A and B are shown apart, each in its own frame.
Chain A
Amino acid sequence: DTGVSQDPRHKITKRGQNVTFRCDPISEHNRLYWYRQTLGQGPEFLTYFQNEAQLEKSRLLSDRFSAERPKGSFSTLEIQRTEQGDSAMYLCASTLVNTGELFFGEGSRLTVL
Protein backbone atom coordinates (compact mmCIF):
# COMPACT_ATOMS: atom_id res chain seq x y z
CA ASP A 1 0.00 0.00 0.00
CA THR A 2 1.42 3.39 -0.94
CA GLY A 3 -0.85 5.57 1.21
CA VAL A 4 0.09 7.75 4.18
CA SER A 5 1.01 5.66 7.19
CA GLN A 6 0.83 6.80 10.83
CA ASP A 7 2.12 5.10 13.94
CA PRO A 8 0.95 4.38 16.57
CA ARG A 9 -2.76 4.37 15.81
CA HIS A 10 -3.63 4.73 19.47
CA LYS A 11 -1.63 6.03 22.41
CA ILE A 12 -2.74 6.28 26.01
CA THR A 13 -0.42 8.15 28.32
CA LYS A 14 -0.38 9.81 31.70
CA ARG A 15 -0.28 13.54 32.12
CA GLY A 16 3.28 14.86 32.07
CA GLN A 17 4.69 12.10 29.84
CA ASN A 18 6.21 12.69 26.41
CA VAL A 19 4.77 11.10 23.28
CA THR A 20 5.99 10.86 19.70
CA PHE A 21 4.00 10.14 16.56
CA ARG A 22 5.45 9.10 13.24
CA CYS A 23 4.13 9.74 9.74
CA ASP A 24 5.34 8.13 6.51
CA PRO A 25 3.99 10.12 3.55
CA ILE A 26 3.41 9.01 -0.01
CA SER A 27 6.93 8.74 -1.38
CA GLU A 28 6.79 11.31 -4.19
CA HIS A 29 4.97 13.95 -2.12
CA ASN A 30 7.16 16.81 -0.93
CA ARG A 31 4.63 18.54 1.32
CA LEU A 32 3.67 17.06 4.65
CA TYR A 33 1.09 18.45 7.05
CA TRP A 34 0.10 17.81 10.65
CA TYR A 35 -3.44 18.53 11.81
CA ARG A 36 -5.20 17.99 15.12
CA GLN A 37 -8.87 17.02 15.36
CA THR A 38 -11.09 16.87 18.42
CA LEU A 39 -14.51 15.24 18.59
CA GLY A 40 -17.13 17.03 16.54
CA GLN A 41 -14.66 19.51 15.06
CA GLY A 42 -12.86 19.80 11.76
CA PRO A 43 -9.10 19.31 11.52
CA GLU A 44 -7.01 22.22 12.85
CA PHE A 45 -3.73 23.04 11.13
CA LEU A 46 -0.60 22.56 13.24
CA THR A 47 2.39 22.74 10.93
CA TYR A 48 3.69 21.80 7.50
CA PHE A 49 6.91 20.92 5.74
CA GLN A 50 8.09 21.30 2.22
CA ASN A 51 10.77 18.69 1.84
CA GLU A 52 12.76 18.98 5.09
CA ALA A 53 11.96 22.65 5.74
CA GLN A 54 9.28 23.50 8.28
CA LEU A 55 7.56 26.46 6.63
CA GLU A 56 4.74 27.34 9.01
CA LYS A 57 3.66 26.62 12.56
CA SER A 58 0.23 27.41 13.94
CA ARG A 59 -0.19 29.61 16.99
CA LEU A 60 -1.92 26.52 18.44
CA LEU A 61 1.45 24.80 18.54
CA SER A 62 2.89 25.59 21.96
CA ASP A 63 6.55 25.13 22.78
CA ARG A 64 5.70 21.66 24.10
CA PHE A 65 5.13 20.57 20.51
CA SER A 66 7.92 19.94 18.05
CA ALA A 67 7.91 18.43 14.59
CA GLU A 68 10.70 17.27 12.35
CA ARG A 69 11.10 15.88 8.87
CA PRO A 70 14.70 14.79 8.51
CA LYS A 71 15.83 14.30 4.91
CA GLY A 72 12.38 15.21 3.64
CA SER A 73 11.00 11.73 4.17
CA PHE A 74 9.09 10.62 7.27
CA SER A 75 8.06 13.10 9.95
CA THR A 76 7.71 12.97 13.71
CA LEU A 77 5.50 15.03 16.00
CA GLU A 78 6.57 15.10 19.64
CA ILE A 79 4.50 16.40 22.51
CA GLN A 80 6.37 16.99 25.75
CA ARG A 81 4.78 17.11 29.21
CA THR A 82 1.39 16.10 27.87
CA GLU A 83 -1.76 17.70 29.26
CA GLN A 84 -5.33 16.41 29.19
CA GLY A 85 -6.17 19.08 26.63
CA ASP A 86 -3.76 17.40 24.21
CA SER A 87 -6.16 14.46 23.87
CA ALA A 88 -7.15 14.42 20.20
CA MET A 89 -6.64 12.71 16.86
CA TYR A 90 -3.39 13.77 15.23
CA LEU A 91 -3.65 13.57 11.47
CA CYS A 92 -0.82 13.58 8.96
CA ALA A 93 -1.33 14.37 5.29
CA SER A 94 0.92 14.65 2.27
CA THR A 95 0.61 16.17 -1.18
CA LEU A 96 2.50 17.68 -4.05
CA VAL A 97 3.29 21.39 -3.82
CA ASN A 98 0.47 23.93 -4.25
CA THR A 99 -2.52 21.64 -4.18
CA GLY A 100 -5.22 21.37 -1.56
CA GLU A 101 -5.85 17.75 -2.45
CA LEU A 102 -4.34 16.23 0.65
CA PHE A 103 -3.92 12.52 1.25
CA PHE A 104 -4.53 11.82 4.91
CA GLY A 105 -3.38 8.96 7.04
CA GLU A 106 -5.76 7.24 9.43
CA GLY A 107 -4.51 9.31 12.33
CA SER A 108 -2.96 8.72 15.74
CA ARG A 109 -5.42 8.99 18.58
CA LEU A 110 -3.94 10.33 21.81
CA THR A 111 -5.61 9.95 25.19
CA VAL A 112 -4.00 11.73 28.13
CA LEU A 113 -5.18 10.48 31.52
Chain B
Amino acid sequence: EDQVTQSPEALRLQEGESSSLNCSYTVSGLRGLFWYRQDPGKGPEFLFTLYSAGEEKEKERLKATLTKKESFLHITAPKPEDSATYLCAVFQGAQKLVFGQGTRLTINP
Protein backbone atom coordinates (compact mmCIF):
# COMPACT_ATOMS: atom_id res chain seq x y z
CA GLU B 1 0.00 0.00 0.00
CA ASP B 2 1.25 3.48 -0.87
CA GLN B 3 2.58 5.37 2.14
CA VAL B 4 3.88 8.86 2.84
CA THR B 5 5.78 9.70 6.03
CA GLN B 6 6.90 13.19 6.95
CA SER B 7 9.49 14.28 9.48
CA PRO B 8 9.82 16.04 11.76
CA GLU B 9 6.23 16.42 12.97
CA ALA B 10 7.03 19.94 14.15
CA LEU B 11 9.95 22.29 13.62
CA ARG B 12 10.64 25.62 15.24
CA LEU B 13 13.26 27.93 13.68
CA GLN B 14 14.50 31.44 14.17
CA GLU B 15 13.97 33.88 11.34
CA GLY B 16 16.79 33.41 8.83
CA GLU B 17 17.67 29.90 10.06
CA SER B 18 17.59 27.56 7.06
CA SER B 19 16.47 23.93 7.34
CA SER B 20 14.84 21.04 5.47
CA LEU B 21 11.67 19.00 5.82
CA ASN B 22 11.64 15.35 4.81
CA CYS B 23 9.01 13.28 2.99
CA SER B 24 9.62 9.54 2.58
CA TYR B 25 7.34 7.61 0.27
CA THR B 26 6.65 4.09 -0.90
CA VAL B 27 4.54 3.88 -4.02
CA SER B 28 4.29 1.49 -6.92
CA GLY B 29 5.04 3.66 -9.91
CA LEU B 30 5.40 7.30 -8.89
CA ARG B 31 3.08 9.51 -10.89
CA GLY B 32 3.97 12.68 -9.08
CA LEU B 33 4.97 13.92 -5.65
CA PHE B 34 3.27 17.07 -4.44
CA TRP B 35 3.97 19.67 -1.78
CA TYR B 36 1.20 21.75 -0.27
CA ARG B 37 1.13 24.50 2.32
CA GLN B 38 -1.73 24.71 4.84
CA ASP B 39 -2.42 27.70 7.08
CA PRO B 40 -4.51 27.19 10.25
CA GLY B 41 -8.22 26.88 9.50
CA LYS B 42 -7.66 26.89 5.73
CA GLY B 43 -7.51 24.28 2.99
CA PRO B 44 -4.14 23.16 1.59
CA GLU B 45 -2.57 25.31 -1.13
CA PHE B 46 -0.53 23.73 -3.93
CA LEU B 47 3.19 24.53 -4.04
CA PHE B 48 5.11 22.07 -6.24
CA THR B 49 4.91 18.92 -8.35
CA LEU B 50 7.94 16.66 -8.86
CA TYR B 51 7.86 13.72 -11.25
CA SER B 52 11.30 12.13 -11.44
CA ALA B 53 14.41 11.64 -9.30
CA GLY B 54 16.80 14.55 -9.58
CA GLU B 55 14.07 17.06 -10.34
CA GLU B 56 14.05 20.35 -8.40
CA LYS B 57 11.51 23.16 -8.17
CA GLU B 58 11.90 26.56 -6.51
CA LYS B 59 9.53 29.25 -5.30
CA GLU B 60 10.80 32.21 -3.32
CA ARG B 61 12.52 30.77 -0.21
CA LEU B 62 11.38 27.20 -0.89
CA LYS B 63 13.09 24.53 -2.95
CA ALA B 64 11.74 21.00 -3.39
CA THR B 65 13.94 18.08 -4.46
CA LEU B 66 13.18 14.44 -5.24
CA THR B 67 15.07 11.16 -4.99
CA LYS B 68 13.79 7.63 -5.60
CA LYS B 69 12.67 7.26 -2.00
CA GLU B 70 12.19 10.71 -0.56
CA SER B 71 11.65 14.38 -1.15
CA PHE B 72 13.01 17.36 0.70
CA LEU B 73 11.56 20.81 1.09
CA HIS B 74 14.44 23.20 1.76
CA ILE B 75 13.63 26.52 3.37
CA THR B 76 16.29 29.19 3.00
CA ALA B 77 16.39 32.21 5.31
CA PRO B 78 12.75 31.76 6.37
CA LYS B 79 10.50 34.57 7.51
CA PRO B 80 7.64 34.43 10.04
CA GLU B 81 5.12 34.37 7.17
CA ASP B 82 6.53 30.99 6.13
CA SER B 83 5.01 29.51 9.30
CA ALA B 84 2.46 26.87 8.24
CA THR B 85 1.96 23.13 7.99
CA TYR B 86 3.67 21.65 4.95
CA LEU B 87 2.07 18.56 3.47
CA CYS B 88 3.58 16.04 1.09
CA ALA B 89 1.44 13.76 -1.09
CA VAL B 90 1.78 11.15 -3.82
CA PHE B 91 -0.61 10.68 -6.72
CA GLN B 92 -1.97 7.17 -6.29
CA GLY B 93 -3.00 5.41 -9.48
CA ALA B 94 -3.38 8.78 -11.20
CA GLN B 95 -6.67 9.00 -9.33
CA LYS B 96 -6.19 10.57 -5.90
CA LEU B 97 -3.64 12.15 -3.60
CA VAL B 98 -2.40 10.28 -0.54
CA PHE B 99 -1.07 12.74 2.05
CA GLY B 100 1.49 12.48 4.81
CA GLN B 101 0.68 13.78 8.26
CA GLY B 102 2.46 17.09 7.66
CA THR B 103 5.23 19.09 9.30
CA ARG B 104 4.16 22.05 11.39
CA LEU B 105 6.74 24.79 10.83
CA THR B 106 7.03 27.82 13.13
CA ILE B 107 9.40 30.69 12.34
CA ASN B 108 10.10 32.97 15.28
CA PRO B 109 11.01 36.60 14.59
A interface with B by C-beta (< 8 Å): 4, 33, 35, 40-45, 48, 55-56, 91, 93, 98, 100-107, 109
CA distance A109 to B4 in the complex (A): 25
Shortest B51–chain A CB gap in Å is: 10
A44–B77 CA distance with the chains assembled, in angstroms: 32
Question: Is B62 interfacial (CB-CB < 8 Å)?
Answer: no
State A36–B44 Cα separation when bound (angstroms): 12
Collect the chain B residues with CB atoms within 8 Å of residue A4's CB. 43
List which B65-109 residues lie within 8 A (CB) of chain A: 87, 89, 91, 94-102, 104
- CB of A43 within 8 A of CB of B87, answer yes
Question: Do A91 and B43 touch across chains, with their CB atoms under 8 A apart?
Answer: yes
CB distance from A1 to the nearest CB of B (A): 14
B residues contacting the other copy or chain, number (CB 8 A): 26
Could you tell me if B43 and A100 are in contact, using CB atoms closer than 8 angstroms? no
The CA-CA distance from A100 to B89 in the complex, in Å, is 9
A105 touches which of B31, B43, B102 (Cβ 8 Å)? B43
| B34, CB-defined interface residue at 8 Å | yes
List 7 extra interface pairs beyond A42-B89, A48-B95, CB under 8 A.
A41-B101, A43-B87, A44-B99, A48-B96, A100-B31, A100-B32, A107-B41
Q: Is the pair A42, B101 in contact by a Cβ cutoff of 8 Å?
A: yes
A98 contact set on B, CB distance < 8 A: 94
**Does chain A have a CB within 8 A of B49?**
yes
A-B contact pairs, 21 of them (CB 8 A): A33-B96, A33-B97, A40-B102, A42-B87, A42-B89, A45-B96, A45-B97, A56-B96, A100-B31, A100-B49, A100-B91, A100-B97, A101-B34, A101-B49, A102-B44, A104-B43, A105-B43, A106-B41, A106-B42, A106-B43, A107-B41
Contact B102 A45 (CB under 8 A): no
Q: Which residue of B lies closest to A91 (CB)?
A: B43
- Residue on B with the closest CB to A33? B96
Q: Give every chain A residue within 8 A of B89 (Cβ-Cβ).
A: 42, 100
- The reply to whether B42 and A43 form a contact with Cβ atoms under 8 Å apart is no
